[in-house]
Copies of this chain bind each other. A is one copy, B any other.
């Protein structure tokens, strides 16, 4: 398996992994959802090398997850804003945060708490079936080969 063709694999997970499947990208996205937008802000809060940050931001822009928007003309300066495609990554990020809360916590409790503005309560994200609304469990799901893959290779 080659990393540069991963996004063409007949597997939606592989395609997603091709875009956001590395440590820095996921941490950069965390910052995006915490409303960080500028190069220096990402760099100082993540302590990522400037080189890698530059690379990763370019990649996220290339894939349409971030938009590079000028916020100053005089010295040309840009900030990075989540597109709708980027905002749609929210369930992934929240699922990861939730798993970390549940399984990687320490005695001090959660680092962050999430409040749902609609209902005003602190919540956990729950994944449900779009059809019946029940909570999803791996064992309750059966996988079928879809049209995007000729052969059933798993």
**Could you list which residues of chain A lie within 8 angstroms of chain B, going by C-beta atoms?**
1, 3, 6-7, 10-23, 26-27, 30-31, 33-34, 36, 45-48, 82, 85, 87-106, 108-119, 121-134, 136-149, 153-154
With A6-B23, A111-B148, A128-B126 in contact, is A12–B105 under 8 Å at CB? yes
Q: Which 4 A-B pairs have the closest CB atoms?
A: A12-B100, A109-B147, A119-B132, A15-B104
Residues of B within 8 A of A111 (CB): 10-12, 145-146, 148-149
Chain B residues with CB under 8 Å of A34's CB are: 143, 154
- Docked Cα-Cα span, A106 to B11, in Å, equals 11
Within the complex, the shortest CB–CB distance from A113 to chain B, in Å, comes to 4
Given contacts A17-B96, A124-B130, A147-B110, contact A154 B104 (CB under 8 A): no
Main secondary structure of the interface of A (DSSP, over half): mixed
Determine if A115 and B144 form an interchain contact, defined as CB atoms under 8 angstroms apart. Answer: yes
The oligomer's copy count stands at 2
Question: Closest residue of chain B to A87, judged by CB?
Answer: B138
Are B121 and A131 in contact (CB-based, < 8 A)? yes
Q: Which among B15, B89, B94, B145 is the interface contact of A136 at CB below 8 angstroms?
A: B94
Q: Which residues of B contact A128 (CB under 8 A)?
A: 125-128
Q: Which residues of B contact A94 (CB under 8 A)?
A: 127, 136
